[in-house]
Chain A
Amino acid sequence: MKHTKMTLSTETMNLGFVRKVEALSGSSVRRCFQCGKCSAGCPMRSFMEHPPNRIVRLLQLGQYERVLAGRSIWYCASCETCTTRCPNKVDLAAIMDALRKLSWDAQGPSKESYVQLANRLFLDNIRTYGRQYEMRLAAVFNVKSGQFLKDLMLGPKLITRGKLKMFHQKNRNLAEIEQIFKRIEELRKKGEAP
């Protein structure tokens, strides 16, 4: 895929997808002039097959399948270095968020998108407990991702130092928190939120 020739035509350019990315991220991809500054500073560059500047270029050319294929978007650390340094105010970190959302909605979870699984469990914790419950987060992630107990080896050491809590923190306003989640789902159902 990486080295195949790219033919640009109205059939191969999906600009509708690009518009969606721009709407979700609130950032234009057309501003980019390929200086490469974003990629130069990206700490995750070596883990990606498409460095950040190439992601923007592919978006400009409507090549969404190439953008979503592979691991690049799942290896972005959300560190905002690219956004900070772009001379043209391309908010690449927000574009990465938008790409992750669109990819997950379209293709669901994959082996590359482990990080999103962890992210989703993190959000489940907020919905259930109001706050993070680190023990449970690690345990559930390990089970769901098949990495049984791998990271939990750190657990006993942390528990004896009182760092990992065995019991979760309790919020008294759990009903209000649940309502936030419900209302956002409702807005989306009505088409009133992206």
Chain B
Amino acid sequence: MTPAKNLLTYSYYPGCSLHASAKEYDESTRGLFKALGIGLKEVPDWLCCGATPAHNVDELLSLSLCAKNLSLADGVEGDLAVACAACFSRLKVTQHHLADSDAKRKQVEYAIDGKVSFDKPVKHLLEILAKDFGLDKLAATVQKPLSGLKVACYYGCLLTRPPEVPQLDCVEAPTIMERVVGAAGADTVAWSHRLECCGANFTLSRPGVVLKLSGEILASAKAAGADCLMVACPLCHGNLDIRQKEIEEATGNRFGMPVFYMTQLLALAVGVAPGKLGFDSMIVNPLPLLREKNLL
């Protein structure tokens, strides 16, 4: 029997940001998974999961949008791989609520005009790398160790919350990001704001809120001696990278802190060509740091 080319295969829900402002997250995810021999097949015609706005306005709509996505994902082989922390949280919360409440399930089934399915495991990329693929194997695949790079791993709100839904790691003291990037050779710093909110939902409506919260996150990472931040959420990235200059102007602090998607750093470590990782679309230029650490 010829062995399957990809030992692991997943269906893939990129979410809206990865097709727009976070395209480097999508590109580097595909690059990384290809390099590791993990298959990804995008769910056809997936729709927006509704993120935080949907449940802020209408919980039933939020559940229905996610349920529709879960049923579309059912048509594609493999557990569902999700990159965006917000999409991940919403899809998991939906599975949890629908399994929990007959009343909600009936409403949602009517709304999406079909049976709801909540059996397919929904997995964040971190979980796939740490558990399914394995940290040892990841470490063995590394060609360019990230040694000397001091990384502040930023979880934000939604990767591990809410607590009633079993998510990828301990709610209050997760270590999965540190373990994964540590396997690629990076030094991770201990810092205070790993799980603090960046103010994402106020990006449009109250930029002042974002400047304050994200400013505190950047200051905390800087104080801990980090060279850069690593994130797994396009909204966090938008606030910390795209608005960093604005935050510097508002707070008078100077950060100059590149904000990487986790897959950019990991893909670099396993030997994906840097030109394919979207470094040029980051607002805080990461190239000087990567050169200084001999990673380019």
Residues of chain A touching chain B, judged by Cβ–Cβ distance below 8 Å, are 24, 43-44, 47, 75, 77-81, 83-85, 91, 93, 97, 100-101, 104, 114-120, 122-123, 125-126, 130-132, 134, 137-138, 141, 145, 150-151, 154, 157-158, 161-165, 169, 171-173, 176-177, 179-181, 183-184, 187, 192-194
Contacts and interface: CB of A to CB of B under 8 A. Distances in A.
A180 B65 contact: yes
B283 interface: yes
A183 B74 CA distance: 22
Interface string B7-21: 000000000110111
A92 to B, nearest CB: 11
Contacts of A169: 16, 19-20
Contacts of A179: 113
Given A43-B197, A154-B242, A77 B47 contact: no
B47 A130 contact: yes
A161 B281 contact: yes
Nearest to B24: A163
Contacts of B17: 132, 134
B102 interface: no
A193 B204 contact: no
B135 interface: no
A184 B201 contact: no
Interface string B158-184: 100111100000011000000000000
A138 B204 contact: yes
Given A44-B197, A169-B19, A187-B60, 11 more contacts: A43-B196, A78-B157, A81-B157, A91-B162, A101-B57, A120-B57, A131-B16, A163-B242, A181-B61, A184-B61, A187-B111
A83 B209 contact: no
A134 B68 contact: no
Nearest to A164: B21
Given A131-B16, A134-B20, A193-B107, A177 B204 contact: no
Contacts, number: 172
A116 B57 CA distance: 7
A100 B53 CA distance: 11
Of the listed residues B48, B163, B200, B243, the one surrounded by the most CB atoms of chain A closer than 10 A to its CB is B48
Interface of B: 16-17, 19-21, 23, 45, 47-48, 50-61, 64-65, 68, 107, 110-113, 157-158, 161-164, 171-172, 195-197, 199-202, 204-207, 209, 213, 242-243, 280-281, 283
A78 B21 contact: no
16 contacts: A44-B209, A77-B213, A81-B157, A83-B161, A97-B55, A115-B201, A123-B50, A123-B57, A125-B48, A130-B48, A163-B242, A172-B45, A173-B47, A181-B61, A187-B110, A192-B107
Contacts of B205: 114-115, 117-118, 141, 145
Q: What 9 pairs across the A-B complex have the smallest Cβ distances?
A: A119-B53, A79-B197, A132-B16, A79-B157, A122-B53, A114-B205, A80-B161, A115-B205, A118-B204
Of the listed residues A43, A101, A116, the one surrounded by the most CB atoms of chain B closer than 10 A to its CB is A43
A134 B21 contact: yes
Contacts of A75: 206, 209
Nearest to B44: A172
Contacts of B61: 123, 180-181, 184
A78 B213 CA distance: 14
